[in-house]
C-alpha cells in the first residue's frame, strides 16, 4: 500500500525592500513579505543530507527580473509556485559580493552572528545603474541563485508589485531564509 505524504512549508523565507534616491534618502519601504522556497532548494538540501556525491555551491547571487507588465493589473502578480525554475523575464545582471552579503542570524535576537544557525540573512544592494537596461527599469520578480551539480538553480523566487528604479536610485533587498 502506497503512503501519501504532504510536504509542509517548514522551510520559509521573508523579504523587505528599501528604495533610496540618488542622495541616499529612503523614499519607499515594502514591509516584510513572504517568499517561496522552491523545489530546487529542497533537492539541494536532500542531496547534501543523503550524502550522495553532489557538488553544491550555495547562494551564488540574486537575479532580478521585469516579470510581465500584465502583473500590474488586478489581481496583481501571480503567487509563485514551488516548481519555479527560472525568472520569467530576467535582467542579465546578477548581484554578487560585495553587493551581496550573506550572514547567519541569531534566532533569539534577529542580529547577525558568526555562529551557524538555522537562519540566513541575505542583503543585496542594487546600486545606481543596476540592473542595466532602459531607464528607468521596472522590477517585478527576483530569485536567489545557487549551483547544483554544475547547473544553476533557483532556491527561492518572489513576484511582487512593480518597483520602478531610476538610474540614480539604490534598492536594498533584505531576505531571510529559515530552515
Cis geometry, peptide bond prior to residue 98 (ω within 30 degrees of 0):
yes
Is the pTM value of this prediction over 0.85?
Answer: yes
Residues facing residue 152 across a β-bridge: 147
The answer to whether residues 77 and 71 touch, using CB atoms and an 8 Å cutoff, is yes
Residue with cell 502506497: 2
Instruction: Quote the CA–CA distance of 83 and 118 in Å, as a whole number.
Output: 23
Residue with cell 538610474: 167
- The model's pLDDT over 28-43, given as tens digits with 9 standing for 90+, comes to 999 999 999 999 898 8
104, 117 in Cβ contact below 8 A? yes
How far is 65 from 132, CA to CA, in rounded Å?
Answer: 11
Residue-wise pLDDT tens digits, 43-80: 888 887 887 766 777 899 999 999 999 999 999 999 99
Amino acid at each position: 500500500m502506497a503512503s501519501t505524504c504532504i510536504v509542509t512549508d517548514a522551510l520559509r523565507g521573508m523579504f523587505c525592500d528599501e528604495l533610496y534616491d540618488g542622495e541616499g534618502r529612503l523614499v519607499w519601504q515594502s514591509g516584510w513579505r513572504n517568499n517561496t522556497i522552491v523545489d530546487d532548494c529542497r533537492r539541494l538540501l536532500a542531496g547534501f543530507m543523503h550524502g550522495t556525491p553532489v557538488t553544491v555551491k550555495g547562494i551564488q547571487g540574486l537575479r532580478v527580473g521585469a516579470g510581465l507588465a500584465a502583473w500590474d493589473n488586478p489581481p496583481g502578480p501571480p503567487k509563485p509556485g514551488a516548481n519555479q525554475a527560472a525568472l520569467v523575464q530576467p535582467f542579465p545582471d546578477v548581484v554578487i559580493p560585495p553587493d551581496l552579503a550573506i550572514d547567519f542570524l541569531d534566532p533569539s535576537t534577529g542580529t547577525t552572528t558568526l555562529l551557524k544557525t538555522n537562519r540566513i540573512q541575505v542583503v543585496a544592494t542594487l546600486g545606481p545603474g543596476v540592473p542595466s537596461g532602459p531607464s528607468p527599469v521596472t522590477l517585478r520578480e527576483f530569485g536567489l541563485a545557487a549551483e547544483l551539480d554544475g547547473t544553476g538553480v533557483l532556491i527561492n523566487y518572489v513576484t511582487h508589485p512593480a518597483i520602478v528604479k531610476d538610474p540614480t536610485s539604490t534598492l536594498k533587498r533584505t531576505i531571510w531564509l529559515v530552515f
